[in-house]
Structure 1
Amino acid sequence: MKPNPKLLLVLLTFGVVLVTGFKSTTADYVRPPPRENLQFPWNPKPSSHPQQVHISLAGEKQIRVTWITDDHSAQSVVKYGKQSGKYDSLAEGESTSYSYFLYNSGKIHHTVIGPLEDDTIYYYQCGGEGPEFRFKTPPSKFPITFAVAGDLGQTGWTKSTLDHLDKCKYDVHMIPGDLSYADFIQHKWDTFGELVQPLASTRPWMVTQGNHEKEHIPLITEEFASYNARWKMPYEESGSGSNLYYSFDVAGVHVIMLGSYTDYDESSDQYSWLKADLSKVDREKTPWLIVLFHVPWYNSNEAHQCEGDNMMESMEHLLYSAGVDLVLAGHVHAYERSKRVYGGKSDSCGAVHITIGDGGNREGLAHRYKNPKPEWSVFREASFGHGELKIVNASHAFWTWHRNDDDEPVKSDEVWITSLNGSGCIAERSYELRKILAAP
């Protein structure tokens, strides 16, 4: 039987449509495969040599310098000054250590230095010997730029993210939980400290805890023992009783770091502290109000659905009444940005919620999203990357998310955000906020 020319034409046309359609759906960004964990060859150093150096904000015009030595007799002193090799100031701090089964940490030093000048480069030496480090203090006024990357870990993608951050002209790095992914293997805390030292020793790193920091073994080890010993944040300076939640001011921004893995209901210490902290916020002095925690409240990814619901139920009304501008979370290994939202739906007086748990963790990306997309969700993608938040002035900020694409930082999402401070939302809810803050 001879082939039917019309039938062949139809089949050929159908095939072209299929191929063309296939190409059009795969022409979008193709997510890269996971990368192996980084390997850290043994690199012996003198026992008094400072290791895992990182800095953090520690109150007004103060910086906390943290490092570890194998020598437990090493002093917790920092020499510093504004000229390389010339240190005209010295500060002495405190130290701690911890044991975890057969593992014994080195001596962990925490030394607060200052008062320091704003937007200034300082040179410093830890313990009175070893290499010289340098850092730059944040500015005292706008503009200021924050780098944001959660769920870092120690993989090839982590290294790519850190390389991109190194090219970013940021003033403070904020991490919404899941740092080292040590997961009970304590020497991985040490390798993480060495991995991030080139960046963390030059700009303040402000962190909060995630689930991979818990490392709790009942009757044997306390929760967050490693995290609390190594990454001391300014909780005492902000009136908190726990290193798991605290706040700080920098250049017109009040940042609140909350704990997703400590009590947060209305009878908890964290909730009481949050109310007290919000009662002190002066939006004339700090017109921007930003909150970070680990488990997202607004998440349309299939991963970790509803895990933040209880915390959201306890605290969202409080943050809403206070006029929080932006909420940053991690945990879900993907990126998502919302509209201003409250109570599960768009609200012009709510906060913008951003999930950015895509720094480079070893567990891979969370590819599956719920469909149809919720009306509050603006942009979502399962890719590794980091965020940059440039707060330009008291009313406007520019947010960008940079996807890691073949080791090149590609700006994939951007938005201008206007502070709620001048919107009328805060004035409308001032009575409600006073009532909440006054409640026992």
Structure 2
Amino acid sequence: MELKMASMKVALIAVFALFVTARADYVRPKTRKVLDWPWKSRESSGPHQVHISLAGDKHMRISWINEDGSSPSLVEYGTTPGVYTSSSHGESTSYKYLFYRSGKIHHTVIGPLEDNTVYFYRCGRQGPEFRMKTPPSQFPITFAVAGDLGQTGWTASTLDHIDQCKYDMHLLPGDLSYADYLQRRWDSFGELVQPLASSRPWMVTEGNHEEESIPLLKDGFESYNARWKMPFEESGSSSNLYYSFDVAGVHVLMLGSYADHDEYSDQYRWLKDDLAKVDRKRTPWVLALFHVPWYNSNKAHQGEGKSMMASMEPLLYAAGVDIVLTGHVHAYERSNRVNNGKSDPCGPVHITIGDGGNQEGLAHRYIDPKPEWSMFREASFGHGELKIANSTHAFWSWHRNDDDEPVKSDEVWITSLISSGCINEKKHDLRKILMAP
């Protein structure tokens, strides 16, 4: 009898194990350690932490750092390796943060440049030659998207996977280096992303980990603003924390979750002016990026975007924004088209992608039952790819980091609002909002 009972227990355990295996074929990864970046001495004049960003129509901003105060903010460039037919001078800055002093931070705008063209360039008359490719002037265009990057083993995997995809530009909705007051971590982050950020434009906006304010001593975002200058002036903004740009038929809004955003703020007034200038015949797609999500069914950071949502969601809805990309929550989630807390065929698709590889780990706990607007959610590290094929259709895919391999785990075709008739329906509401004092 005992032998029979033991046999039954073994059989039940085997069946249970088979059931669990069938239902749990994917195990969410554990957090990986922060990468070890021992500080190394460099040639004082050599450029490092090189990254590029758009700087207006057919222009690119080249940013880099060196330790030699006499090195010029000069970029030489051309379409043939080692042959520099053009050059441009820029500006430089530096900053102190308690006992830390940055190197000389250079920002030089080059152009006009040909679209969809490979250029070779050199910074400060010396150092290695870099290679970059300008974005196309028309569809298709592909964006790589990953927020909350940090500097962990998972960050390295995410960057490696992005490097494997054919993309034209990287969009980063906040939380870059996770320096968190340790300024050398800004330097190590710049080194980590240089291979990718020096070859394709990186367009970023700020997250909470960029703030680094110290009451009575330091204002917020000093390090971020000094190192990652974006085209805010070119877009009529008064702050590096929010701006916009056009690329290949897409108007992209980079908004600031940590800049004032109520109806009396500079950001709100700038956004109204910016949206009033959008020509949907020239840029049929409109995207928005900011850090704190408005639609979030994860228990992490619940409700933190409510104030920004209250003031700005009506603007984005009336303007017919197609897709909103955010970070902050360390997981992935995609909504259907949504507005005012419920599904709406004329609202944006909201995508939270704060899963680039941060050291704080994943946000595993979700609210149940799942809201009706939430289409897919998963707590895993990964990145997204947005290929805008033409004026009417775009293909979104999310690739989780599964044992260091990029596995496509969510995908959807998205139809633009301009092709659905929603934009024409909203013209009156948009005019009413834009004309309001």
Say yes or no: TM over 0.5.
Answer: yes
Cα shift at 1:10: 8.1
State the match for 1:25 in structure 2.
23
Asked whether 1:96 is paired with 2:106, we answer no
Asked whether 1:244 is paired with 2:237, we answer no
State the match for 1:253 in structure 2.
250
Cα shift at 1:73: 1.3
Amino acid at match of 2:36: Q
Cα shift at 1:145: 0.3
Cα shift at 1:347: 0.5
CA–CA distance in structure 1, aligned partners of residues 248 and 208 of structure 2: 30
2:360 to 345, 359, 363: 363
DSSP-derived class of the 1:374 partner: coil
CA–CA distance in structure 2, aligned partners of residues 381 and 257 of structure 1: 25
State the match for 2:36 in structure 1.
39
State the match for 1:283 in structure 2.
280
Matches within 5 A, 1:112-151: 112-151=109-148
State the match for 1:421 in structure 2.
418
DSSP-derived class of the 1:185 partner: coil
Question: 1:292-336: per-residue Cα shift (whole Å, max 9, x none)?
Answer: 000000000010000011110111011000000000000000000
Q: Which runs of 5+ in 2 are unaligned?
A: none
1:229 to 226, 232, 236: 226
Cα shift at 1:25: 2.9
Cα shift at 1:16: 5.7
CA–CA distance in structure 2, aligned partners of residues 15 and 89 of structure 1: 72
Matches within 5 A, 1:405-416: 405-416=402-413
CA–CA distance in structure 2, aligned partners of residues 12 and 70 of structure 1: 67
CA–CA distance in structure 1, aligned partners of residues 6 and 150 of structure 2: 55
CA–CA distance in structure 2, aligned partners of residues 368 and 135 of structure 1: 41
Percent sequence identity over aligned pairs:
70
State the match for 1:439 in structure 2.
436
Asked whether 1:189 is paired with 2:186, we answer yes
CA–CA distance in structure 2, aligned partners of residues 3 and 104 of structure 1: 75
CA change 1:4–1:55 in 2 (3 A) is closer
CA–CA distance in structure 1, aligned partners of residues 2 and 132 of structure 2: 77
Amino acid at match of 2:206: Q
Question: 1:338-360: per-residue Cα shift (whole Å, max 9, x none)?
Answer: 00000111100000000000000
State the match for 2:199 in structure 1.
202
Matches within 5 A, 1:20-99: 20-27=18-25, 29-99=26-96
CA–CA distance in structure 1, aligned partners of residues 200 and 317 of structure 2: 31
Cα shift at 1:19: 3.8
DSSP-derived class of the 1:271 partner: helix
CA–CA distance in structure 1, aligned partners of residues 383 and 184 of structure 2: 26
Asked whether 1:106 is paired with 2:107, we answer no
2:163 to 162, 166, 173: 166
DSSP-derived class of the 2:194 partner: helix
Amino acid at match of 1:34: T
Cα shift at 1:40: 1.5
Amino acid at match of 1:23: T
DSSP-derived class of the 2:161 partner: helix
Amino acid at match of 1:269: D
Cα shift at 1:41: 3.0
CA change 1:70–1:13 in 2 (3 A) is closer
Q: Which runs of 5+ in 1 are unaligned?
A: none
CA–CA distance in structure 2, aligned partners of residues 79 and 18 of structure 1: 65
Cα shift at 1:24: 3.0
Cα shift at 1:8: 8.7
Question: 1:196-254: per-residue Cα shift (whole Å, max 9, x none)?
Answer: 00000000000000000000001101110000000000000000000000000000000
Cα shift at 1:42: 3.3
CA–CA distance in structure 1, aligned partners of residues 363 and 3 of structure 2: 49
CA–CA distance in structure 2, aligned partners of residues 239 and 347 of structure 1: 31
CA–CA distance in structure 2, aligned partners of residues 258 and 214 of structure 1: 15
State the match for 2:382 in structure 1.
385
DSSP-derived class of the 1:319 partner: helix
Cα shift at 1:23: 2.9
DSSP-derived class of the 1:415 partner: strand
Question: 1:246-276: per-residue Cα shift (whole Å, max 9, x none)?
Answer: 0000000000000000100000000000000
CA–CA distance in structure 1, aligned partners of residues 425 and 79 of structure 2: 47
1:176 to 164, 173, 176: 173
DSSP-derived class of the 1:189 partner: helix
Question: 1:159-194: per-residue Cα shift (whole Å, max 9, x none)?
Answer: 000111111111010000000000000010000000
Question: 1:36-58: per-residue Cα shift (whole Å, max 9, x none)?
Answer: 11011333221110010000000
CA change 1:315–1:9 in 2 (3 A) is same
State the match for 2:318 in structure 1.
321
CA–CA distance in structure 2, aligned partners of residues 83 and 260 of structure 1: 42
CA–CA distance in structure 1, aligned partners of residues 96 and 18 of structure 2: 61
State the match for 2:268 in structure 1.
271
Amino acid at match of 1:82: T
Cα shift at 1:13: 7.2
State the match for 2:152 in structure 1.
155
Cα shift at 1:430: 0.6
State the match for 2:303 in structure 1.
306
Cα shift at 1:429: 1.1
Asked whether 1:348 is paired with 2:348, we answer no
Cα shift at 1:129: 0.9
CA–CA distance in structure 2, aligned partners of residues 418 and 240 of structure 1: 30
Asked whether 1:332 is paired with 2:352, we answer no
CA–CA distance in structure 1, aligned partners of residues 48 and 13 of structure 2: 62
Cα shift at 1:419: 0.4
